[in-house]
Chain A
Amino acid sequence: MEPLLSVRNLTTMFTSGRRAARAVDGVDLDIFSGETLALVGESGSGKSVTSLSILRLIPDPPGKIVAGEIRFEGRDLLSLSEREMNRIRGRRIAMIFQEPMTALNPVFTIGEQLVEAVRVHRSMRRSEAERLAATWLERVGIGRPEAMLRAYPHQLSGGQRQRVMIAMAMINEPALLIADEPTTALDVTIQAQILDLMRELKRRTNTALLLITHDLGVVAEMADRVAVMYAGQIVEEAPAERLFDDPRHPYTRGLIRSMPRLDDDRPRLEPIPGTVPPAHAFPPGCRFAPRCPFRTEACAAMPALRPFGRPEDGHRVRCHLAETLPVEPAAAASNG
């Protein structure tokens, strides 16, 4: 089956002064219609830059996509004009951002913003677009949608605003929805509601979802497949269940081990020591090596992202030690 979106060797650089850095360095991703791919990593790993690059929303300057190919519905998005790109943004690929408090324009009503989102792509009468907007507000669980159309963002709660954002992104029923940390800024109870809502809308419209998150709890709940990013590269990719059962990259293991869980008998969480290096100071060789408890001399050379196990498992790892890593008792026991 042909993937809906196929990213190859995506490389995005940021320049500040004379210093240039590859925030995203040779990323490959495939997303199929209707599936949910989670892109996971700490802050600074390049996952947001990857998602913004797909829609070509990287602010230039300082950012620039310097290499790669982004094939979507048979076309390379990187070769399109800005005009052609605008016909894809919001229509075929839509995006939800992390900060619902600031993602809506404060001086326009919810109705004006939703109607604009529709009418920029479809020739529809204003009254008709308003009706559609109200329908979508209802669909995302906002009561009294007619009144809400006339409300301004500051009159809404954070959860309501994120629902409006989802309605705005989904109103043209795009083939792909990119959600960048859609629940991070919300209360826990609201988080669960928003995730439920996204799952339900996805089922209804068969939209593929690229879910960007650092929260493995969200991943476990939502994702079909997972790609783990570290320092601008994909370090491991696998179907969700497999990734949790048998993570093969030390970084993935670190992420899973630092995740709080209910059946926990460890005295405390185990964070990964150190932080993601800044993009201009990526170490040569394996980028995770300086933080890796298993590192050997081999790690001075950059490992390739290569299949692990049988090819049909769809499991790829960027680690010299993938085969020799001991089976993780904590990880193996946790996912039942």
Chain B
Amino acid sequence: MKVLVSRLFFLVFVVLGVTFVTFIISHLIPGDPAQMIAGQRASPEVYAKIRAQLGLDRPIWAQYLLFLQGLLQGDLGTSIRTQQPVLDDLRHYFPATLELVLFAFLLALFVGIPLGVYAAARKDTVIDALIRLLAVSGISIPVFWYGLVLILIFYGKLDLLPSGGRIDPSISPPATITGLYVIDSLLEGNWAAFKSSLAHLVLPGITLAFAQLALIVKQTRAAMIEVLRQDYIRTARSLGIPSRKIYFRYALKNALIPTTTVVGLAIGALLAGAVVTETIFSWPGMGKYVVEAIGYLDFPAIMGFTLIVSVGYVILNFLVDWIYTLLDPQIRL
């Protein structure tokens, strides 16, 4: 309980800090949204009116206080570009991003960890070298490059997978239950929608996951190699416990402690990475929304996005701390 209170307190500070910094930066960028809305040839009166509407005529600290005041009432302001409340916009785009990030996360986790274990178990063999090569590629090749290459191969050449959107335009999306098409279509029993939405997830999911998968492989491999050297692994072998069980149970639970740190960071990086991936794959999520907002100098939308991501990040970190206590009996919150 005490921990929870202190974490919430921490959250308040993070939100204050993040919003403050984002606010300053986005208002220091040269450019004037009022000018963009009014157009080049608007009269000074119209321009002044629009500035007043947007609150841009007030001093910057007053604008920030106004933003915080709205925030306390659960109001993130109105998007300059869409003319909709930012909260509604984000609510609309959030499930798509969540679906993509979750898919990429599961991919990075459930492919990355076994690959790391496997590489460590077969250390210094060809298999290990191949897995390490994969990991190095994931870390060093930029996202937009292999995103485009994947599209070129699997959509352009092979025509196996779609290259954009969440679902085939000829199929109507499932009714919103969770907002995640793959899950909603399953709940509905809509097989066609499930297949289509899953197929649409594959390329952007791999693209988004690759770099984090690589980091998880590297970390898991390093941690496993360290753990496999420990005396208690020799003890387990001396008791006749089969190798597979030693790797995936006895060693992995120890190796997951340092890996958890990387996994926590990976989720944050996936949220941030969604911005680029969604743009490449025209994925209708928050990332694409915010890229468009930036083009418009849509301050409220940018602020709203930043806020959501940073709050999500803090909550994830809290989860990571909690997972440590499950893995390591010597850690108490």
Interface of A toward B, CB cutoff 8 Å: 55, 57, 61, 82-83, 85-91, 94-95, 97, 99, 102-109, 116-117, 120-121, 152, 154, 165, 168-169
**Is A89 within 8 A of B237, CB to CB?**
yes
Give CA–CA (A90, B239) in the complex, Å: 4
**Is B328 within 8 A of A168, CB to CB?**
no
**Is B239 within 8 A of A107, CB to CB?**
no
Instruction: Among A104, A106, A121, point to the contact of B240 (Cβ < 8 A).
Output: A121
Chain B residues near A104 (CB-CB < 8 A) = 232, 235
Q: Given A152-B330, A154-B330, answer yes or no on A165-B235 (Cβ-Cβ < 8 Å).
A: yes
**Is B235 within 8 A of A120, CB to CB?**
no
**Is B328 within 8 A of A107, CB to CB?**
yes
Interface size, B (range): 20 to 34
**Is B329 within 8 A of A106, CB to CB?**
yes
Q: Which residue of A lies closest to B231 (CB)?
A: A102
**Is B327 within 8 A of A90, CB to CB?**
no
- Does B49 belong to the interface (CB within 8 Å)? no
Instruction: Among B242, B243, B245, B254, point to the contact of A106 (Cβ < 8 A).
Output: B254
- Fill in one digit per residue for B207-251: 1 if any A CB lies within 8 Å of its CB, else 0: 000000000000000000000001110111111111101000010
Chain A residues near B124 (CB-CB < 8 A) = 61
Give CA–CA (A50, B329) in the complex, Å: 35
- Does B253 belong to the interface (CB within 8 Å)? yes
Interface of A: prevailing SS: loop
Q: Which of B230, B250, B329 has the most CB of A within 10 A?
A: B329
**Is A117 within 8 A of B232, CB to CB?**
no
Chain B residues near A57 (CB-CB < 8 A) = 234, 237-238
**Is B253 within 8 A of A108, CB to CB?**
yes
**Is A95 within 8 A of B238, CB to CB?**
yes
* A to B CB contacts below 8 Å, 9 in the list: A89-B238, A97-B238, A102-B232, A104-B232, A106-B329, A107-B254, A107-B328, A108-B253, A154-B329
**Is A99 within 8 A of B240, CB to CB?**
no
Give CA–CA (A47, B91) in the complex, Å: 69
Instruction: Among B232, B242, B257, B327, point to the contact of A105 (Cβ < 8 A).
Output: B232
Chain A residues near B241 (CB-CB < 8 A) = 86, 90, 116, 120
Q: Which residue of A lies closest to B251 (CB)?
A: A105
Give CA–CA (A102, B236) in the complex, Å: 12
**Is A94 within 8 A of B238, CB to CB?**
yes
Chain A residues near B238 (CB-CB < 8 A) = 55, 57, 89-90, 94-95, 97, 169
B119 to chain A, nearest CB (A): 16
A284 to chain B, nearest CB (A): 33
Chain A residues near B330 (CB-CB < 8 A) = 106, 152, 154
Give CA–CA (A90, B330) in the complex, Å: 28
Q: Which residue of B lies closest to A100 (CB)?
A: B231
Q: Which of B234, B235, B245, B329 has the most CB of A within 10 A?
A: B235
Chain B residues near A61 (CB-CB < 8 A) = 124
B14 to chain A, nearest CB (A): 31
Instruction: Among B231, B240, B328, B329, point to the contact of A120 (Cβ < 8 A).
Output: B240
Give CA–CA (A101, B250) in the complex, Å: 17
**Is B329 within 8 A of A117, CB to CB?**
no
Q: Which residue of A lies closest to B237 (CB)?
A: A57
**Is A82 within 8 A of B231, CB to CB?**
no
Give CA–CA (A103, B231) in the complex, Å: 5
Chain B residues near A91 (CB-CB < 8 A) = 240
**Is B232 within 8 A of A106, CB to CB?**
yes
**Is A105 within 8 A of B239, CB to CB?**
no
Chain B residues near A90 (CB-CB < 8 A) = 238-241
A189 to chain B, nearest CB (A): 24
Q: Given A82-B243, A121-B240, answer yes or no on A107-B329 (Cβ-Cβ < 8 Å).
A: yes
**Is B240 within 8 A of A103, CB to CB?**
no
B49 to chain A, nearest CB (A): 65
B260 to chain A, nearest CB (A): 12
Q: Which residue of A lies closest to B238 (CB)?
A: A95
Give CA–CA (A82, B242) in the complex, Å: 9
Q: Which of B230, B232, B242, B328 has the most CB of A within 10 A?
A: B232
Give CA–CA (A89, B243) in the complex, Å: 13
Give CA–CA (A91, B234) in the complex, Å: 16
Task: List the 10 shortest-distance A-B pairs measured between CB atoms, nearest first.
Answer: A90-B239, A89-B240, A90-B240, A102-B231, A152-B329, A95-B238, A105-B232, A86-B240, A103-B231, A103-B235
Give CA–CA (A106, B327) in the complex, Å: 10
Q: Which of B241, B243, B245 has the most CB of A within 10 A?
A: B241
Chain A residues near B231 (CB-CB < 8 A) = 97, 99, 102-103
**Is A105 within 8 A of B329, CB to CB?**
no
Give CA–CA (A102, B242) in the complex, Å: 20
Q: Given A57-B237, A89-B237, A165-B235, answer yes or no on A107-B243 (Cβ-Cβ < 8 Å).
A: no
Q: Which residue of A lies closest to B123 (CB)?
A: A61
A206 to chain B, nearest CB (A): 21
Extra A-B contacts (11), CB below 8 Å, given A55-B238, A61-B124: A57-B234, A86-B240, A86-B241, A88-B240, A102-B231, A103-B231, A103-B235, A107-B328, A108-B250, A116-B241, A121-B240
**Is A168 within 8 A of B254, CB to CB?**
no
B120 to chain A, nearest CB (A): 14
Chain B residues near A105 (CB-CB < 8 A) = 232, 235-236, 250, 254
